[in-house]
Structure 1
Amino acid sequence: MLAFKVTTVGASSGFILTKEAMAKLNVKKGDTVFLTDAPGGGFRLTPYNPDFERQMALAEDVMRADRDILRALAK
């Protein structure tokens, strides 16, 4: 388990990710991370945008369902 202390960052509050935490999250300086609700009432910190993932899943469903139409349009 990794622990972080909340500190002042400019006029806001934040916490600093250690090199170990950045490696586990697979992020680098300048990347965006997302805090989302997790099952069971907790939270999840992830570098993946859940809205974008949902949109991509919907796009994949459309591409799979309408494969023949998309193939014809590509010609």
Structure 2
Amino acid sequence: MSAATALKVTQIGNSMGVILPKEVLARLKVQKGDSLFLSELPDGVALRPYDDEFAEQMALAREIMKEYRDVLRELAK
């Protein structure tokens, strides 16, 4: 796929949307039913198969759970 690909906005039911080429879906490693996340950037937008903020929160949660593993294990009893 080239650096820039034109996507046409089209009516999809009562909404508007764009159809992503299969090459883009393959690069994103997504398929029907998967979620994509749109992030606003200073110079446009980014479309990703994951949410950066959520990934950071989960990484922090994993660190906390690892640090307090014994406490969490006792609380689960």
Task: List runs of 5+ in structure 1 lacking aligned partners.
Answer: none
Q: What is residue 59 of structure 2 aligned with on the other side?
A: 57
* Structure with more strand by fraction: 2
Kindly report structure 1 stretches of 4+ aligned residues shifted beyond 4 Å.
70-74
**TM-score using structure 2 length:** 0.71
Contact 1:33 1:46 in 2 (8 A): yes
**Inter-partner Cα distance in structure 2 for 1:62 and 1:28:** 33
TM-score by length of 1: 0.73
Count residues in correspondence. Answer: 72
Q: Which moved more, 1:10-19 or 1:49-58?
A: 49-58
Percent sequence identity over aligned pairs: 44
